Each structure stands twice: as structure tokens, then as C-alpha cells.
Amino acid sequence: MEGWLIALLICLAYLAVTLATGIMSGFRVSKSVTGFVAADRSMNTVVLYFVMGASIFSSFAFLGGPGWAYSRGVASLYILAYGIVGVVPLYFFGPRVRRLGEKFGFVTQAEVLAYRFDSRALSIILTLLSAGAFLPYIVIQMKGAGLILETITDGRVPFAVGAGLSYAVVIIYVVFSGVLGVGWTNMFQGMFMMVIAWFLGLYLPIKLYGGVGPMFEQIANSDKAQMLVAPGLDAAGDPWTWAAFSSSIVVSGLGFMMWPHLFMRSFAAKSDRSLRRTVVMYPTFQIFLIPILLIGFSGVLKYPGVNPADSIVPFLLRELTLSPVLVGLVCAGTLAASMSTGDAILHSAGSIAVRDGLVSGLGMKIDDARQRFYIRLVVVMLGITAYGLALVLDQGLVDLLLMAYGGIVQIFPLVFATFYWPRATKAGALAGLVTGIVVNTFFRLNPEFSPFAGMHEGVYGLTLNTLVLVVVSLLTQPDPRDRVKACVEA
């Protein structure tokens, strides 16, 4: 049998197992919105651990991560740093979010904040922000899936077919099983990704250089040594600045658990303990970025000049004469990374559009069964829209995503104030959030106005956001005691 066919069959087998797992899990949950969105608040640590890990590590981890290491060296370590720094806040606010959800029936992030600040406008702003962040995110995941299948089959499976097939599987199990479909498939996908990453990350340096140590020694003694000198290189290949490195860690770290699809998992947790234990265990998932980055470093000396850098993994798979079984497994691992993020995003986007957009934001009265139907409808429509965009869009997606990320981070001061600062008011929260988003977007589009060259624009947004939140809150009447108390003492 030809190599590409063996690899393709492995990927198809992976897709079949994922589909079966996803559909079977749907029988374990009630037919209510809480069942569909928050798994009847029943997830234990093991499922939560893999849901968090696998949702976080997207096709960016498998393609972009090695690409960063390959082109920018140790700059890529900022990804490792912000993940570990950023997960800790969840340990503290996650259980509170969970208890509020149980008490008031919340299943989305905006429901908590809109309750605390008694504001419909907040629901609408957060819905729009999520939409702006999710659409490019999901399109990028689809592109990753399509590209990897196209590459390993030398174009015999065209991009459109590969992306379409993998995401048809995702849409089917998300629509059928809701968050449990996401949960159980992510468990399988997450384990698969970890095994593949550790294996490939150690195997490539050994095969190409005789070990991880010798690989770094050789890079350090070559003309590429600069990429190992902290904080690595910028996108143009010049030394990166300390301000850029550190501010990226701060902004990405604070924004990490503000992503609605990750934040929402607090509601699915069975108990405070299961949620806390998930955070405690998360570093064991995060550390798999080390082998992921080693994959990228292994290409530096042997295969210079791969462009774009993100294609280093498919490139290595093609160049090295690896066994087709291994190629198939790596390809399936990349699909797992893409799909396990795509499913969480699609699922959350549906939930947010209906719960926050229609019910809270526009005040529509929709019964439980109808809500569930609409959520599924949004999942399918969004999936199809994203697929269309994946086929036509080429540039600008990453820019859009980074801009949205800057917006997502701006939720942090509101979440912090909800649980720790009783004096925050509705006016303060709205003014702060809007200021943060506007300032962030302004500096993103006009970097030449940045007071400190290279500084991540999210820092300016966050600073002014917090300032405005505090000042406006102190100038306005305190919010009604009952809601404030429910949150601060949750």
C-alpha cells in the first residue's frame, strides 16, 4: 500500500473513533439547556482536565508553536509562561463562578457579569466581543485541519474536502451531544495529542542531532545562536525586546481564563474540588509545550528557510522519510488539536449567541427546549459560515484574532471586581470595559503612537480600563447590596 494512503487511513480511523465517542456521550446527559451547555454540572476532574487542556491547545499549538520556535527561538517560551501564569486565577474565581451558576442557573460568562452589574448592555457587548473573537478562531482551526490533510496526501485530499470532512464530524457531535460530546472527544483527543507531541518532540532531535542537548549545542555554536539568547527574535528576525516579551505574558496570562469557552467550563464542574483539582493538574498538560517547541527547534539547522514558518511540521513530515504510520499519527494528532478546540468554540458560540444575545441581551422569552434547538441551529450555521470563510480568506485572520484577544483580556478587571471589589458599579464596569476595548484597538491599529516601543497594546487597554473602572465606580452610587453580596460572598 502507498504511504499516503496508510497515513490517510489512520486519519480516517481517528475521525471515526472521534465521531463514535462524541455521539455516544450524548446519551449520558439530560435534554435541557443545562445538560447541553453545562453537562448538568456533573463533570469530574478527569474530563474537565482534558476539556481544558485540549480546548486550549489548538492547531496553533501543533503548527504555530513549532513555527515560533523555528523562526523566533526562545521567544516562543512566552506561550509556556503565560499558560501557567494564566491558569492560576481560575483556582480562585472558578469555584465562585460554579456556585453562582448552581444558585441562579447561569451557564455563560456574560450571565454572571450581567447579573452582578445588572446590565443588558453588558450581555450585548460581551456577545459581540465573543463573536469577533470566535469567528476568526474557528476559521483558523478549519484551515489547520484542511492543510494538514492536503499536505500528507500530496494534494490528493484537497483542502476543501479535508476541512469539510473533519468539521462535519465536529458539527455532528457538538449538535448531537453538546458539551459532553466536547468533553469525551477531548479526552480521547487530548491523550492522543500528548502522546504524539512527547514522542515527536524527543524523536526528532535524537534522529537529527543525536539528542536534545547536542541539538541546542549545535544551534548555540552556529550563526543562529541569537535565537537562543533571551528573549529571542521578533517576527522580522531581529532581537525581540524585553518589554514585548513580558507584556505579552502579562496580557495573554490575564486574558487566558477570560476566554468565554474556558471560563464557562466552571459551570460544568461537579464540585469546587473537581474544578480546583483540574487547575492543580493543569501544569502537567501545559508542560507538553516543551516537546512541541523542540519539534520546531529541530528544524532550525537542518532545514533553514522554510516559509511560512508555521508549515515547519508538515514540511518535516514530508522531508524526513518517516514511516507512513508515524506520519498518519502525527496528522491525526494535529487534527485532534484543531478539532478539540473547534468543537469547544462552536459549542460556546451557540450557547452565547442564544443565552446572552437573544435571552439576556434582547430580552426574548424562549423556553428551554426552543433554546436548545436555537443553540444547535447557531452551531450548524456558524460552522457553515466559518467553512465558507476558510475557503476564501487567506490573510488577516491572525490579525483579527489578536485584536479580539486584546478585547477578551479587557474582561479581567470586571471579573476581578465582581468577586473582590464590592464598590464597583454598573457605570464603572461598562465605562471601563468600553475604554479598554477602544484603547486596545486603537493601539493595535496605530502602533506608532505606543509610548513604549514594542509594548503589547493590551497593557494600555488594561491600565486605562482599570483606572476608569475605579474612578467612575467611586463617583457613582454603590450598586444594590443583594447582588454585590451574592457575588462577593459566593
Partner 1 sequence: MNKLGLHFFSPSDAPKYRRTRTLFLIIYAAAVSAVLFPWPKVWGIYPMVLGLPFLMFWMVLAVVAIFLGLVLLYRSEPEEN
Closest CB to partner 1 among 181 and 253? 253
Among residues 39 and 279, whose Cβ is nearest to partner 1?
Answer: 279
Q: Which residues inside 37-76 make contact with partner 1, applying CB under 8 A?
A: 74
Note every long-range contact of 211-217, with CB atoms under 8 Å and residues 24 or more positions apart, other chains counting. Answer: 212/294, 215/294, 215/297, 215/298, 215/301, 216/297
Q: Which of 277, 347, 376, 444 touches partner 1 by CB under 8 A? A: 277
Residue choice 212, 233, 316, 378 for contact with partner 1 (CB under 8 A): 212
Q: How far is the CB of 74 from partner 1 (least distance, A)?
A: 5
Short-list 124, 78, 295, 301, CA closest to 193:
295
- Minimum CB separation from partner 1 for residue 48, in Å? 14
Q: What is the DSSP string of 4-73?
A: HHHHHHHHHHHHHHHHHHHHHHGGGS-SSHHHHHHGGG-B-HHHHHHHHHHHHS-HIIIIIHHHHHHHHG
Taking the C-alpha atoms of residue 57 and residue 60, their distance in angstroms, rounded to an integer, is: 7
Q: Does 284 bind partner 1 (CB under 8 A)?
A: yes
Is residue 486 part of the contact set for partner 1 (CB under 8 A)?
Answer: no
DSSP-assigned letters across all residues of 180-237: HHHHHHHHHHHHHHHHHHHHHHHHHHHHHHSSHHHHHHHHHTSTTGGGGSTT-B-TTS
Integer Cα distance of 451 and 429 in angstroms: 26
- One-letter amino acid for residue 109 of the chain: Q
| Among 176, 422, 454, 483, contact with partner 1 (rule: CB under 8 A) | 422
72 or 347: CB nearest partner 1: 72
CA-to-CA dists, residue 286 to 184, 290, 291, angstroms: 20, 9, 11
Nearer to partner 1, 4 or 419 (CB): 419
Answer yes or no whether residue 100 interacts with partner 1 by CB under 8 A: no
Kindly tell me which of 90 and 309 has the beta carbon lying closer to partner 1: 90
- Under the criterion CB under 8 A, does residue 429 sit at the interface with partner 1? no
Number of residues in contact with partner 1, rule: CB under 8 A? 45
Residue 226 backbone phi and psi in degrees, to 5 = -55, -30
Shortest Cβ 113–partner 1 spacing (Å): 17
Q: Which of 287, 301, 326, 380 binds partner 1 (CB under 8 A)?
A: 287
Q: Which stretch binds partner 1 (CB under 8 A): 144-152, 221-229, 397-405, 456-464?
A: 221-229
Is the Cβ–Cβ distance between 329 and 167 less than 8 Å? no
- Helix, strand, coil share of the chain (percent; to 5): 80, 0, 20
* Strand partners of residue 239: 233
Check residue 211 for interaction with partner 1 (CB under 8 A). Answer: yes
Quick note: the x/- pattern for partner 1 over 234-273, rule CB under 8 A, is --------x---x--xx--------------------xxx
Q: Shortest Cβ distance from residue 283 to partner 1 (Å)?
A: 4
For partner 1, the binding residues (CB under 8 A) are: 74, 77, 80-81, 84-85, 88, 91, 211-217, 220, 225, 228-231, 242, 246, 249-250, 271-273, 276-277, 279-280, 283-284, 286-287, 290, 293, 419-423, 488-489
